[in-house]
Amino acid sequence: MRARLPLAALGLALLAGTLAACSPLQPWVKPYEREHLADPIMAFDRNATANAYLDHVYSVREAARGGDGAVGGGCGCN
């Protein structure tokens, strides 16, 4: 079970990837509609250094680790 869980998650990620790559159908948020997503207040990595420090403070005291670190979003330019 333990080994299959990450494979399931990986499978999900690859499914999204291959469907997106093969699909002739188009995104529902158009590239020219990304104004709000491009706003710096919507960035996952705004204040990256400060958040990294806080994450370090928590991870040193807590048993839980990992499961953070989002990439993506933003203006989707180019």
First to last CA, the chain: 41
Question: Closest approach of Cβ 51 to another protein, in Å?
Answer: 10
Q: Does 38 bind another protein (CB under 8 A)?
A: yes
Q: Does 55 bind another protein (CB under 8 A)?
A: no
Question: Closest approach of Cβ 3 to another protein, in Å?
Answer: 5
Question: Closest approach of Cβ 9 to another protein, in Å?
Answer: 4
Q: What are the residues binding another protein (CB under 8 A)?
A: 1-21, 23-39, 41-42, 44-45, 47, 49-50, 53-54, 57-58, 61-78
